[in-house]
Amino acid sequence: MRSSRLWPVAAALILAVTLALVPSGVLAQSSDPVRAGTGMVVSESWIASEAGRDVLAAGGNAVDAAIATGFALAVTHPSAGNIGGGGFMVIRFPNGQTTAIDFREKAPLASHPEMWLENGEYSAERHHRSHWAVGVPGTVAGFDKAHSLYGDMNWERIVYPAVVLADDGFVLSDRLSGSLSRFALTDGRPAATVAQFSNGGTAYAAGETLRQTDLGRTLKRIMLDGRDGFYRGETARLLVAEMERAGGLITAADLEIYEARERVPVTGYYRGYEVISMPPPSSGGVAMVTMLNMLERFDLASFGHNTAPYIHHLSESMRRAFRDRAQFLADPDFVDVSVHALTSKEHAAELGNDIQSDRATPSGVSDIPMGYESPETTHYSVVDGNGMAVSVTYTLEGGFGTGIVVPGAGFLLNNEMGDFNAGPGLTNDRGLIGTSPNLARPQQRMLSSMTPSIVARDGRLVAVVGSPGGRTIINTVMQVILNVVDFGMNIQEAVNAKRIHHQWLPDRIGIEADGASAETVRLLEAMGHTVQVGGGQGTAHSIMIDPRTGERLGAADPRNPDAGARGH
């Protein structure tokens, strides 16, 4: 059992007062970051950022604050914040050493490569929307491991803010109330889901308070018993009961044997900057370093930001790195992944030696197609007063995961098994992938694009970066780094700037709305590119260190008005 000492009542009262205030969020299109002299937290929810900031102010380190922020997001950002999902954490210590915590979900013991076939035919329903689509959750084990290895503050103090948020509730914004009404009141939602996210079957309105008492009880068990409060006891019993009721695969044994892994981060160098990111089973770090290595030989600044030559060279590097991703990357506990070779300068030179300055390289359907990966993830960044930096990206996969709330436990189940390939030999030009490395196998972790990253130079912390967005994550994070390194933007400008995306197949460049002029699009099309303009890409909540003052500069992405940077 964990110690039963609770966070002082006075602190709980402070949190309650905070929740009654109107959120300041982020200044919608401000180019100025939020400044703080000691610590900073930036996340998808200003309320969760404040929970992490308060932990820093009370003497916790960046790992403690990251855990507090993550648990709070499980309450305030239910579409992706979670205890029923998984993800990755990258840590840089004040002395420059680094590590990574892999808490990606695992396939249940009953999994097998042909599990998505129904009567011999591929079933997207089974793959993405059924109880079979649920991977063994990793978030609680990951946070527990990070805390046991590197946390300073009492575990209960870290988890308690999330308990308060679930029990006492928080005021819903326009954005979140609309999201909940569209999600919870869709026909066919399970009764527990409707009860959790609607007001007795009626949509919540902005300004109303969302209370989640079942989730609060689950968080209390985690607060008191750590990982055992989730993977054993009452919470585990409730989860397994839901699996048994609906024919799911996760058993009590799956929960008991789940372990988070500490891994060596991927490290690359770009124009003298050290880029530290997540290794496999995330593809993000490898793909980003590969792209940066290809781009380093070009004078990107001379092209101008988001001009046709700039977008052309970025997209050419992206298509090649994404082809590598599909061919070589998977869970390294099951597949031999040569990270060193894939991220070498020599490999990048070979990949990019046929990039032409005025002509697109076509992506053929005979090459490796790219399957679907949901954009619904969440990222947050933390820096403490000593310079410890933590970058976390975690997810339920689809928005609100499977949409299934565990009755009596109050948390949503992921549909991460959908990130495994469709089945042996099922690669086709419609987007299915049947290559072997990322097929479902017992205890294997599914491939991901999450790219929590940290940038340093000459032994000093420069920035903490990451984003949600499915496969767009890798390209979003890279462009924030390019904006800082090649174009000298401050971190808020780098986050605000319009982004592009290419992922090998489909063979097109996606550009955010208003991200390129009509003339730029015309020039790209003349080079042979297919261009699609519209929508948004990611929410890259980031932190930079002011090189002159040492201040922490927090940049919440204005693409989400509920986001917030909070420092002290």
CA trace torsion 263, 264, 268, 269 (10° rounding)? 130
- ∠ at Cα 552 (546, 554), nearest 5°? 110
How far apart are the C-alpha atoms of 494 and 32, rounded to whole Å?
11
Phi, psi of 200 (to 5 degrees): 65, 35
How far apart are the C-alpha atoms of 183 and 63, rounded to whole Å?
32
Closest CA to 146 of 214, 68, 94: 68
What distances in angstroms separate CA 107 from CA 7, 133, 250, 276, 529, one per listed residue? 36, 9, 9, 27, 38
Catalytic residue among 377, 402, 427, 451: 377
Helix H or strand E encompassing 220: helix 213-225
CB distance 308 to 523 below 8 Å: yes
Strands 261-263, 564-567: pairing kind: unpaired
* Residue 267 is a catalytic residue: no
Cβ-based neighbours of 170, under 8 Å, separated by 6 or more: 19, 47, 75, 76, 209, 210
- Cis before 281? omega within 30: yes
Q: Which two tokens stand for residue 362?
A: 């076509």
Cβ count within 10 A of residue 200: 6
How far apart are the C-alpha atoms of 314 and 501, rounded to whole Å?
9
Helix H or strand E encompassing 542: strand 542-545
Cβ-based neighbours of 522, under 8 Å, separated by 6 or more: none
* Residue 509, strand partner residues: 531
Q: Give the three-class secondary structure for 275.
A: strand
Closest CA to 562 of 45, 71, 42: 45
CA trace torsion 120, 124, 128, 133 (10° rounding)? -10
First and final C-alpha spacing in the chain: 33
Rg of the chain in Å (alpha carbons): 22
Q: What is the amino acid identity at position 121? A: E
Q: Give the three-class secondary structure for 507.
A: coil
- Which residue has 């090459």 as its token pair? 367
Q: What is the amino acid identity at position 59? A: G
CB distance 420 to 439 below 8 Å: yes
What distances in angstroms separate CA 449 from CA 36, 337, 359, 504, one per listed residue? 31, 15, 28, 14
Q: Which two tokens stand for residue 159?
A: 């988890």
How far apart are the C-alpha atoms of 400 and 408, rounded to whole Å?
17
Q: Active-site positions?
A: 377
